[in-house]
């Protein structure tokens, strides 16, 4: 007798936000922050003192955007617009702890870059700096501390490529900062209200036994409906050849027993 293939139950769309949707959210966030970036560059163009004075507000905006908004709403505006949200691994909303940890490495790199810029600014020739264009000013500052800027560039590259590699090589599409903070990014468009969805991504061992058992019985019931038109011989084949699909095998066994009782 030819092996009977197990009927394929329709698989829902993956709930985890992957590379493209994350990239889209980053681009949106960049667009949302563009006015602030232009204002900062405009202020910097007035001279060294203005550049230095703009540093603290710039860092504050970055923390507000990447930490406060994340703990308050579960994501930056770019993520929320695209229908994804940051959650803890157990499905709960992120807290200050997760929001801070997620941004910690990027914040450290920002501070490192800021310190290097300050070192260069303080050693720059004031009159020469004032007469340069914006791009020339950046080149001049980099020329004043070439080694430090090179190290900063290497550190940024390691972080970015590390994030990308890790994101693309795990099933839950978690980047390095997700592993640091214990978070995951999920699509929310198919899960309303979100509270009903949260429990569904909990690992089985962390969910109430009654809830897990209820879901198991419901899945067995669905398999029984799908398998009801199969002959007893075909059901026996399914039991023997699909042992890894436990609920399907259990459904087939129940159908066989029911038919044997009816004989």
192-232 per-position pLDDT tens digit: 433 444 444 445 455 456 555 666 677 777 767 766 776 76
Amino acid 135: pLDDT: 83
CA–CA dist 225, 229 (Å, integer): 8
Question: Looking at the predicted structure, is the pLDDT value of residue 6 above 60?
Answer: no
Looking at every residue in the chain, the average pLDDT score rounds to 80
Amino acid 243: pLDDT: 58
pTM over 0.85: no
Backbone angles phi, psi at 87, to 5 degrees: -130, 160
Q: Which residue has the higher pLDDT, 205 or 100?
A: 100
14 HSE (CA, 13 A, CB side): 10
């Amino acid at each position: 007798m030819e092996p009977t293939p197990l009927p394929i139950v329709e698989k829902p769309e993956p709930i985890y936000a992957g590379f493209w949707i994350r990239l889209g959210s980053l681009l949106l966030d960049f667009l949302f922050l563009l006015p602030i970036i232009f204002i900062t560059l405009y202020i910097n163009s007035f001279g060294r003192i203005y550049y230095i004075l703009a540093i603290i507000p710039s860092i504050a905006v970055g923390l507000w955007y990447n930490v406060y908004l994340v703990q308050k709403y579960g994501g930056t505006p770019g993520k929320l617009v695209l229908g994804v949200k940051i959650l803890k691994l157990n499905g709960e909303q992120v807290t200050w702890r997760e929001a801070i940890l997620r941004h910690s490495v990027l914040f450290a790199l920002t501070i490192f870059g800021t310190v290097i810029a300050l070192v260069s600014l303080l050693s720059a020739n004031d009159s020469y700096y004032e007469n340069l264009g914006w791009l020339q000013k950046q080149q001049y500052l980099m020329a004043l501390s070439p080694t430090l800027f090179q190290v900063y560039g290497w550190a940024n590259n390691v972080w970015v490529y590390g994030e990308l590699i890790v994101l693309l090589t795990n099933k839950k599409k978690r980047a390095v900062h997700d592993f640091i903070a214990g978070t995951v990014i999920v699509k929310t468009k198919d899960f309303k209200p979100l509270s009903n969805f949260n429990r569904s991504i909990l690992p089985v061992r962390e969910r109430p036994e009654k809830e897990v058992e209820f879901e198991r019985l419901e899945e067995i019931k669905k398999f029984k409906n799908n398998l009801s038109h199969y002959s007893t011989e075909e059901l026996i084949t399914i039991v023997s050849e699909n042992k890894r699909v436990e609920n399907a095998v259990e459904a087939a066994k129940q159908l066989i027993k029911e038919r044997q009782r009816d004989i």
